[in-house]
Amino acid sequence: VVADVSGKGVSAAVVASTLQGMLYSHLAEDSSLPEMIAVVNRFLFEKIGGQKYATLVIARLFEDGQLELINCGHVPPILISGSTVTRLEDGNLPVGLIPSVKFNAVNLQLKPGDRLVVVTDGVTEAEDAAGEFFGSDRLDQCCAQGFEGIERAVTVFRGTTPLSDDCTMTEMIYRG
């Protein structure tokens, strides 16, 4: 699970904490990802009325390489299989924004060695001195080199321009 709550400060932290608790309790029940997100979405909307929302990616990997993935308004995850880099564009609305939304998951079959990379928008929206974003295309080009490659590419791109948001990265590797 990688999530990013809108806004900053205590209110965003409370939403993040609530979201984390709800997600993990539903994952323990082994609910399907679309059912789980629909419940979480309704609850968050009832509590915060669309004032705050969260983008998130949840991926569930099974022993046989089946991957169930749901993206709710987040930066598209990237699947690296051998030398092929694929941006997984299928997505849904963010969680907590609109009360009655249908959420859809993507199911993929991974092969041993396949990697799923998920980043927050702090990576793709890192800016250089001219105000240009790092962007998804640059991310696609460097993500096959792992975290060090992404971090190095973002650092070189932005130069001395400070980051304006957190840069969170995670990677799931299917070993077979």
**pLDDT score of 86 more than 90:** yes
Place 158 in a pLDDT band, splitting at 50, 70 and 90.
very high
Q: What whole-number percentage of the chain has pLDDT above 70?
A: 100
**pLDDT score of 47 more than 90:** no
Q: What whole-number percentage of the chain has pLDDT above 90?
A: 66
pLDDT at position 30 is 76
Place 24 in a pLDDT band, splitting at 50, 70 and 90.
confident
Q: Average pLDDT for residues 62-89, to the nearest whole number?
A: 95
Residues 90-137 have pLDDT tens digits of 999 999 999 889 999 999 999 999 999 999 998 999 999 999 999 999
- Are 92 and 106 in contact, with CB atoms under 8 Å apart? no
